């Protein structure tokens, strides 16, 4: 941020601090800081800007209108839900899908935020939290000899973080620094440190073992390497990257490790298991089997309730899914804190939206996606475009619109990459 000479820019300084707090709340999984930052941002914007101008700007933006329609469709669920309290809870979470876009759309021409500074703060927080988690895991390993402390959810247990979501935060940082520093040949002074951070984040993502994030990262790396070869950039560096990745993959394939187990589980067991009408409580479902099963359950629920068009409401969706889990004999917990499969949602934003808001809600969600893609293509900001495409694929494995931090992922991070004050990235050019 560069305020005018002799004048301190209180507005953009406050915005910068609050945006930083929002990012840090993700790294530390702090919902209170996340909520306070969002509310304070909204309040500052509302008080600082002319009200008429504020709403005019927002309601001229097709993306914001799409988000508002989506929220109103969810609001309509109160008319036919059987659980108003749960519907209110779900609605309050989804309200962020309007609040955050309103902030950016209404202030698109006033933001003077340096994205690189924000990303530096976010990256340092992720470095700090993961280093602490590794130290904690090492302590557990020394005491009990349990190597599982270094993998998946267990690794992030000090902060009670979700391994898949945290992997996606790391992916966001990696995409940004690769595109803005490595690919664009910028910030050469710090390039060595950036490369070390990228290698470190890559190893953490491997330890967290999120199949979808590892898959997205692999596809992006292949794309990155091929695009560099096309534009005849440093082949020695590229070959070194390929060799390093090949070595890592070889080690993971030939050795017995939790990461390998996570991937082999996909192919274990018959994929026809999900077609059974009754299950034993001891039956284990891998990720693919469970998602296929939720697809079946969602279709059955919508048929039984005759609710393909309006959905069953956010308040009743999870309740009806739980009923299916119980009726089919799936594991429902042992009476302790574990609720077994009862705690699982559809693990798919498109499926979850259809269950809760019907085909009307799904069309509304697709309109949000289409309008934002139009923004991204028009702006020519490749980093934001790549990340948003990753978000859309990620949505096939996680119902992140039912989580507070998921709403932040879907709206805040792509909008930040799109709207912050850095000049637009140049598309690849032959050097």
Task: Write down the pTM of the prediction.
Answer: 0.82
Classify 257 in phi/psi space as left (phi over 0), alpha (psi -120 to 50) or beta: beta
| Closest by CA position to 61, among listed 422, 352, 419 | 419
φ/ψ of 429, rounded to 5, equals: -125, 145
Answer whether residue 295 is part of any domain.
no
Rounded alpha-carbon distances, angstroms, from residue 359 to 302, 308, 362, 364, 392: 10, 6, 5, 8, 18
How much is the pLDDT for 171? Answer: 92
* DSSP state at residue 424: P
How much is the pLDDT for 366? Answer: 95
How much is the pLDDT for 51? Answer: 73
Answer whether residue 369 is part of any domain.
no
How much is the pLDDT for 431? Answer: 36
User: Residue 200's CB: how many other CB atoms inside 10 A?
Assistant: 16
Q: Domain span at residue 149? A: 115-264
Answer whether residue 292 is part of any domain.
no
Rounded alpha-carbon distances, angstroms, from residue 301 to 98, 321, 356: 28, 8, 11
How much is the pLDDT for 337? Answer: 56
Answer whether residue 93 is part of any domain.
no
What DSSP element (H or E) covers 83? none
How much is the pLDDT for 22? Answer: 87
φ/ψ of 206, rounded to 5, equals: -60, -45
* 3-state secondary structure at position 112: coil
Give the integer Cα–Cα distance in Å for 311 and 317: 8
Answer whether residue 242 is part of any domain.
yes
Answer whether residue 141 is part of any domain.
yes
Provide the residue count of the chain: 431
How much is the pLDDT for 421? Answer: 46
Question: How many domains in the chain?
Answer: 1
How much is the pLDDT for 228? Answer: 67
Give the integer Cα–Cα distance in Å for 298 and 324: 9
Q: Please identify every stretch of the chain with a pLDDT value under 70, giving residue numbers as ranges.
A: 1-9, 106-113, 182-189, 228-274, 334-339, 420-431
CB 387 within 8 A of CB 175: yes
Rounded alpha-carbon distances, angstroms, from residue 311 to 4, 100, 158, 300, 303: 53, 25, 38, 12, 10
Give the integer Cα–Cα distance in Å for 104 and 186: 27
How much is the pLDDT for 294? Answer: 87
- Rg of the chain over Cα atoms, rounded to whole angstroms, equals 23
* DSSP state at residue 313: -
How much is the pLDDT for 370? Answer: 94
Answer whether residue 119 is part of any domain.
yes
How much is the pLDDT for 340? Answer: 76
Answer whether residue 257 is part of any domain.
yes
């Amino acid at each position: 941020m560069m305020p005018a000479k002799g004048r301190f820019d209180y507005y953009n300084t406050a915005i910068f601090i609050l945006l930083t707090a929002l990012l840090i709340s993700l790294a530390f999984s702090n919902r209170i800081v996340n909520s306070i930052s969002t509310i304070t941002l909204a309040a500052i914007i509302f008080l600082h800007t002319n009200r008429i101008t504020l709403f005019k700007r927002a309601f001229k933006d097709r993306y914001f209108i799409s988000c508002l329609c989506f929220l109103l469709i969810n609001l309509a669920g109160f008319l036919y839900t059987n659980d108003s309290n749960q519907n209110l809870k779900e609605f309050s979470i989804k309200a962020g899908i309007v609040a955050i876009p309103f902030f950016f759309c209404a202030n698109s021409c006033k933001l003077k935020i340096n994205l690189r500074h924000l990303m530096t703060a976010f990256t340092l927080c992720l470095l700090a939290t993961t280093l602490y988690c590794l130290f904690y895991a090492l302590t557990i390993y020394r005491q009990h000899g349990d190597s599982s402390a270094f993998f998946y959810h267990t690794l992030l247990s000090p902060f009670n973080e979700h391994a898949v979501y945290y992997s996606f935060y790391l992916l966001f940082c990696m995409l940004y620094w690769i595109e803005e520093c490595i690919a664009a040949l910028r910030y050469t002074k710090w390039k060595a440190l950036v490369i070390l951070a990228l290698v470190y984040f890559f190893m953490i993502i491997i330890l967290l073992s999120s199949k979808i994030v590892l898959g997205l990262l692999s596809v992006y790396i292949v794309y990155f390497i091929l695009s560099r070869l096309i534009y005849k950039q440093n082949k020695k560096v590229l070959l070194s990257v390929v060799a390093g990745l090949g070595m890592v993959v070889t080690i993971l394939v030939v050795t017995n490790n939790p990461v390998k187990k996570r991937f082999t589980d996909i192919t274990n067991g018959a994929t026809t298991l999900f077609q059974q009408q009754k299950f034993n409580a001891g039956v284990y479902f891998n990720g693919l089997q469970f998602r296929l099963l939720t697809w079946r359950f969602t279709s059955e629920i919508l048929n039984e309730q005759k609710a393909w068009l309006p959905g069953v409401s956010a308040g009743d969706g999870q309740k009806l899914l739980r009923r299916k889990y119980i009726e089919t004999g799936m594991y429902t917990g042992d009476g302790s804190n574990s609720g077994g499969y009862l705690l699982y949602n559809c693990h798919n934003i498109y499926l979850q939206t259809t269950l809760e808001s019907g085909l009307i809600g799904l069309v509304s969600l697709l309109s949000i996606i289409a309008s934002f893609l139009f923004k991204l293509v028009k702006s020519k900001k490749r980093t934001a475009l790549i990340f948003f495409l990753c978000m859309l694929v990620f949505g096939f494995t996680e119902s992140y619109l039912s989580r507070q931090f998921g709403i932040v992922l879907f709206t805040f991070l792509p909008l930040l990459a799109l709207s912050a004050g850095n000049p637009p990235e140049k598309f690849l050019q032959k050097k």
